[in-house]
Structures are given as structure tokens and as C-alpha cells.
Structure 1
Amino acid sequence: MIEQFKPIISGNGLRIGIVQARFNEEVCEGLYQACINELLAQGVLEDDILYITVPGALEVPLALQMLAQTEEFDALIALGAVIRGETYHFELVSNESGAGITKVGLDFNMPIANAILTTENDEQAIERMATKGSEAARVAIEMACLYEGLDAFMGGNAVNADDAANI
């Protein structure tokens, strides 16, 4: 029989860092409110949440990296909105911010929920902001619990960031 590992998913005791882009402010604020509401509903305490803002989606990975370096967080959340315009800039910002977020997560062995919306227009972004904000909170909690639970299951032998650099 195949053994399946299922962590207990709870926000209790988790420390979460949120980095939010300010560009497309109305959408980003909606993402943030939905995210915070879900974190609190899942048991994360207000005192265990650090929230910072940066100018735009391209600045999010650097801020996430700064938080990850502290080793004080169980998971991080990226919030932002990139809405297609008339130039290639949409593709650049979407691709580079996504790649940067993924790189930080892998480099620091840190769960990061990426809720930087990439939409065709304002209407799509507004329609998705509440769902994606709350999903980001649930993803961050689940991945933090998975990492913590799997590490305990493996006797504290899950790969840490220092070991990951040598793989």
C-alpha cells in the first residue's frame, strides 16, 4: 500500500510575511483584505503577520528575499496585479516577477504563495482579487504545514536552504 503523507493544516503558531505591490492599488488592496481575512480565519494571529508594500510587482521578489533571509517566517505571500497594457511591458513584468518569486522560494527553501494576478483588464482583476487573496493565504498555510510536518516525519532531515545550495 502506498503511504500518503497528509499534514495537519492550521495557521496556529505560524509566522507569515506578506509583500504587496502598490501598483494597481484598488486590486492590490482587495487581494490584501481577502488574504488577511483568510489568514485570521485559519488561526494565524495578527501579531504573527508582517505586511510590507513595494512600488510594483518587479520589486516583490527582492522584498521576499529580504524576509526569507531573516529565517523568521514559516511562509511568505506575494500580492500584486499586472494588467495588460498596449506594450510588451506586461509580459516582462509578469514573467520576471513570477520567476523571481519562484527563485526566492527555491533558494531559501521557503513556501511562497504567489498571488500576483496577471489579467487582460481591470474587470478580470477585480473579479479575481477576493478569490486569489484568500487562496494565497490557504496555500501559504498548507505549504508551511507540509514543510513543518514532513520535516518532523523525516526526523528533522528535510533539506534546508544550506543543503539545497549543494544539490
Structure 2
Amino acid sequence: MASAEAHTVLPRPTFDKPVKVLIVVSPYYSDIAKGLLTGAKAELDAAGATYDVVEMPGALEIPTAIGISDRRSNFDGYVALGCVIRGETTHYETVCNDSSRALQLLGLQGLCIGNGILTVENKGQADVRADPAGQNKGGGAAAAALHLIALARKWSRETKGIGFMPRGEDTLMAGNPGGNTTT
């Protein structure tokens, strides 16, 4: 059974501009997914965030869905929700490791992702972790995404001043047909 040790919960971040989050959930174990989703939605609602929900067949598709969304939409952050329960084959390790690694790589690229994909030995462990009145791992994943969004906004600027920046219209650029010329 899951440990009931107390842990620190950070205060919910506040935002001066609207926050839009995509929740990507796998309903493979629908009752577990429902609990995770309920917890995540409640946390996002409490923070005043808006969200959309998309479903994917399994945990392995969740990072791909987030990557596609990041390239083609305008979400501030993402919440990944699902459950992988150990079975009789090594497929469990593959799904756990690959989905987690892919989410981590997306995060290292700058995406704000709360990982709520449960990796458990049995359904009883999943039930405790998914229960919004229990360990509320869905709410915890949403909170993690919100904290990452707050951090990204804290350190963002209109321009970062990295690389070459044009100085203005009087700057000559190579390959600029019809640009300013001097005689």
C-alpha cells in the first residue's frame, strides 16, 4: 500500500495573464484516468487556468501528442495523465521508461509539463494515487505544470538579446535586394 508520509506542497502560483493548459490523458484504465482527470481539473480551476482535454490510447502516445500540440497550438503548459500497471512481461518497463524519458526530453526543451502518468505494481496502488481525495496525483501533476509555467513566465522577456539582432532600417544585410547602398 502507498505510504501516508506527509510531504511539502508548494503554494499555488498566481498569474497576471491567463493560463491555457492541455491535459493529455490515456483512459486505458478508465476509472483511474477519471480520478486523475478530476484532480487535475480541480487544481487548474483553482488557479483560474483554462484547459482542453485530449485522449490518447496509451501512455506511449502522450508525449507525442504533447509534442504535436506544442508545434501546432498555443498552450502554456501540459498535464500528462495515465497509468501503467506491471504485468507479466517487460512491456511495463518499456512503457514506463519511454513515456517518462520522452516527457523529460520535452521538458528539457522548455515545455512546461506535469507528469501524472502513474507507474504501479497493482490496481490498488493506482486507485490510492488517482483518488482526488487521496494522494491526488492528477492534481499534483497539474500543480507541477502551473509551477513550471510560472517559472517560465518569470524568466521570459520579449527579446533575450542572444545572437545577432538587426539594428534598424539603415543596417545593410547581405542578400538584401534593393536595400540601402552607399556610393
Fold-level match, TM-score > 0.5? yes
Any residues of structure 2 matched to 1:5-154 within 5 Å, and which?
Answer: 9-10=13-14, 13-44=18-49, 48-107=50-109, 109-129=110-130, 130=132, 131-152=136-157
Q: Structure 1: which 4+ aligned runs deviate by more than 3 Å?
A: none
Are the aligned partners of 1:151 and 1:158 in contact in 2 as well (CA < 8 Å)?
A: no
SS in structure 2 at match of 1:110: coil
Cα distance in structure 1, aligned partners of 2:42 and 2:97: 28
SS in structure 2 at match of 1:86: coil
1:10-45 per-position Cα deviation (integer Å, ceiling 9, x unaligned): 25610101100121111111100110011101111x
For structure 2, list consecutive stretches of 5 or more residues without a partner in the other structure.
Answer: 1-11, 163-183
- The alpha-carbon distance between structure 1 residues 67 and 121, as it changes in their structure 2 partners (threshold 3 A), is same
**What letter corresponds to residue 37 of structure 2 in structure 1?**
Y
- The alpha-carbon distance between structure 1 residues 73 and 31, as it changes in their structure 2 partners (threshold 3 A), is same
- The alpha-carbon distance between structure 1 residues 42 and 112, as it changes in their structure 2 partners (threshold 3 A), is same
The alpha-carbon deviation at position 106 of structure 1 amounts to: 2.5
Higher relative helix content: 1
Cα distance in structure 1, aligned partners of 2:159 and 2:22: 23
**What letter corresponds to residue 13 of structure 1 in structure 2?**
P
**What letter corresponds to residue 50 of structure 1 in structure 2?**
D
For structure 1, list consecutive stretches of 5 or more residues without a partner in the other structure.
Answer: 1-7, 160-167
TM-score relative to the length of structure 1:
0.81
- The alpha-carbon distance between structure 1 residues 9 and 25, as it changes in their structure 2 partners (threshold 3 A), is same
The alpha-carbon deviation at position 102 of structure 1 amounts to: 1.4
1:34-82 per-position Cα deviation (integer Å, ceiling 9, x unaligned): 10011101111xxx31110000001111101111112501111100000
SS in structure 2 at match of 1:57: coil
SS in structure 2 at match of 1:31: helix
TM-score relative to the length of structure 2:
0.74
1:71-127 per-position Cα deviation (integer Å, ceiling 9, x unaligned): 5011111000001111111111100111111122223x1111111000010000010
Q: 1:5 is matched with which residue?
A: none
